[in-house]
């Protein structure tokens, strides 16, 4: 394939989606913007998505498929949601170095949580046009602080302040 724009590169990409024990894979050869030459992945209950891309600068150089991504646990954990709430944890894989929280709507829930690679955190509309994704670094950093906990902390702080004055 020839890419005629100076800002584009030849690329081969592999999109893999795992859901409910099933794997769906798409392999493409195309021209992409240079800024899109980043591989990424996300892991959340019950889905895992991977996007692997291999870019090159010469004509017709994208004839081999993009490599598989590292799908081994990397030691990081993030909170994830299931039908009962968002207190489950999920093991992050490969280059997933951030935790994310996305507000839906999603099937069965209005919130999705899990692991994401840094580049995936910068993608707008990762899950849809109105997904409102926030990412954080640190193990289990995507927890939800309950309103009751925040209110209790505020009340205790005010009581302590009045007792000292």
Extract the tokens encoding 53. 């891309």
pLDDT-derived band at 110, boundaries 50, 70, 90: confident
Q: Delimit the domains of the chain by residue range.
A: 8-148
The reported pLDDT for the residue numbered 21 is 84
The answer to whether the Cα torsion of 106, 38, 134, 81 is positive or negative is positive
Read off the pLDDT of residues 111-147 as tens digits, 9 standing for 90 and up: 889 999 999 888 766 666 656 788 999 999 998 654 3
pLDDT-derived band at 155, boundaries 50, 70, 90: very low
pTM of the predicted model over 0.85: no
Q: Residue 6 and residue 63: Cα distance in Å, rounded?
A: 20
Bridge-based pairing of strands 22-33 and 8-19 is antiparallel
Q: Residue 65 and residue 100: Cα distance in Å, rounded?
A: 29
Q: Residue 29 and residue 13: Cα distance in Å, rounded?
A: 6
Pick the CATH number of 8-148 from 3.90.550.10, 3.30.70.100, 3.20.20.150, 2.10.60.10: 2.10.60.10
CB atoms inside a 10 Å sphere around CB 45: 18
Query: Which among 3-12, 74-83, 125-134 has the top mean pLDDT?
Result: 74-83
Model confidence at 1: pLDDT above 80: no
């Amino acid at each position: 394939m020839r890419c005629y724009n100076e800002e584009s590169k030849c690329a081969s990409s592999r999109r893999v989606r795992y859901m409910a024990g099933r794997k769906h894979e798409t392999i493409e050869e195309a021209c992409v913007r240079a800024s899109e030459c980043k591989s990424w992945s996300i892991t959340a209950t019950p889905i895992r998505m991977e996007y692997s891309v291999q870019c090159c600068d010469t004509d017709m150089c994208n004839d081999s498929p993009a490599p598989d991504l590292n799908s081994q646990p990397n030691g990081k954990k993030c909170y994830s949601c299931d039908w009962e709430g968002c207190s489950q944890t999920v093991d992050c894989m490969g280059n997933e170095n951030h935790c994310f929280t996305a507000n839906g709507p999603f099937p069965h829930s209005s919130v999705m949580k899990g692991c994401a690679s840094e580049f995936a955190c910068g993608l707008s509309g990762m899950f849809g046009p109105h997904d409102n994704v926030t990412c954080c670094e640190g193990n289990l950093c995507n927890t939800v602080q309950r309103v009751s906990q925040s209110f209790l902390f505020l009340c205790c702080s005010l009581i302590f302040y009045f007792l000292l004055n």
